[in-house]
A and B are shown apart, each in its own frame.
Chain A
Amino acid sequence: MVRRSFTAVLEKNSTFTEAFQTEPYETAWASEARWFVRVQEMSGTGARLRATAQISPDGLFWCDEGTAALEMTGVGLSSQALREFGHWLRLRVELSGEAPKVKVTIYLALKE
């Protein structure tokens, strides 16, 4: 049997002006995960996006996973790989700078 895999698109061309978290996503079956954050637009003086992986035992209560956050200051694609993350994943995203505004697509690529 080849290894099972699945890509979830958790945000599609979504525009944000303040901090947010992606929806909880169940990952118990997967041993590998890779976040992809695609910034399609970014505006605001000194705008910066900072995405931190979070884990949870139940989809209700969350803590940081511990890997260094992804930081992006402009349009582009960035990625982060995780292992041993347990059964739930989400991204905690913070925006900084003056009147920051971003349009993003966020993927979670999972593999057994």
Chain B
Amino acid sequence: MNRRRFGLMIPAAAGAPLPAQVARPQRAAGRIPDDPRLARFNPLKRILVFDDFDEGINGWAELVSNHNGNLDDLRPVLRDMRPAQLSNCTFFDTGTHGSMSGTYALKLATRARQFHTAASIKRLTFQKPGPVQFEMYFTFKAEQTFDAPDPNWDGNFTPSERNFGEMTISNDVCMGEDGPRFICALRYRNATPEGELVQKWMYKTSLHTTTKMDRAGQTLQSVDYHVREVNDWKEIPGGRQPLCFNETSTKINWHYLRWVFDTAKQRNTELQVNDLVMDLRGIPVPSYGQGYRSLNHLLNFLLDVRANRAVRNFLFVDSAVISVDW
């Protein structure tokens, strides 16, 4: 933990008076070295975003395809990505779990439909090219089902774990007025549609089909918005990682994720999830060959969750930090 990184400029807080009985730590004027809400992150030099979902939705909007005012024109794969929710993580057996800190977490929820995807997007632009880091504390669940109980249940492994499909983090970056534009996408594939556990991190090998490409007749499928064909995913070397589902559909354990990509080099740098650090510098990142207008300096971040079966899948995020080195 590099504590020098926690010298955060918080002008409003710096000038606020503290009660006399509260010991004020020694610090340079205008700097707070030990904000406990940030001490669990490892940000780069400048924090652009600190999203604590006890404070609200923080700009994580529903992803939607391009349209010209007529929502009938929305592409099927991107017409129903669901609005994010502020969840207090309530479950039917024990009530409110709460988030990692506080009460609320950002929640993405699919429909109870195979391959349905819920996606939220945070839309920024960048000042300078270079390393960008996204960090979050997350957890994931499949909705409780009430099917006939499995007589072979061993009291440890829950069949519910087989009902969680995939979650993906991705970006959308356009370097200038005419591009280049590229998209990095990293997916945790938990289980196949048959319920077989995979538990591996993947990267995509083809481009997300844009609305412009769709209108040129280039759409091949409508069940995975990230790729041209559904099998255009490869395993990240060393990317096998069973996460902590914790035996039931109602116990949530928070995981740390840190993803770095470099807009100057137009590639991923690394992905850390708890103790697993994956070097991604050698992984190819597809780039669009054609220009896109009105995307100058685009810097978008996306989170999504995709159901492998007809069971709602949930992705919860307690908090997130986006930082850069400019």
Contact = CB atoms under 8 A, between A and B. Distances in A.
B279 interface: no
Contacts of A61: 92
Interface string B257-272: 0000000000000000
A23 interface: yes
A70 to B, nearest CB: 20
Contacts of B100: none
B310 interface: no
B85 A25 contact: yes
B72 interface: yes
Interface in B135-181: 143-144
Contacts of A23: 82, 109, 111
Nearest to B82: A23
Given A12-B80, A26-B107, A61-B92, A6 B71 contact: no
Interface residues of A, number: 20
B240 interface: no
Contacts of B104: 28-29
B83 interface: yes
B87 interface: yes
A105 B88 CA distance: 27
A57 B79 CA distance: 29
B86 A6 contact: yes
A63 interface: no
Contact of B71 (A10, A13, A29, A57): A13
Contacts of B82: 23
B304 to A, nearest CB: 16
Contacts of B62: 9
Nearest to B250: A58
A34 interface: no
Q: Secondary structure at chain B's binding surface: helix, strand, loop or mixed?
A: loop
Interface residues of B, number: 25
Nearest to A9: B83
A99 interface: no
B57 interface: yes
A22 to B, nearest CB: 11
A92 interface: no
Of A28, A57, A61, A105, chain B has the most CB atoms within 10 Å of the CB of: A28
B57 A6 contact: yes
A50 interface: no
A25 B88 CA distance: 12
With most chain B CB atoms within 10 A of its CB, the pick from A12, A23, A60 is A23
A68 interface: no
A12 to B, nearest CB: 5
B101 interface: no
B90 A87 contact: yes
Interface string B87-128: 110111000100000011001010100000000000000000
Among all A-B residue pairs, the 5 with the closest Cβ atoms: A8-B83, A58-B92, A13-B71, A26-B85, A28-B88
Given A6-B86, A26-B107, A28-B87, 4 more contacts: A26-B86, A26-B90, A28-B103, A60-B92
Interface of B: 56-57, 62, 71-72, 74, 79-80, 82-83, 85-88, 90-92, 96, 103-104, 107, 109, 111, 143-144
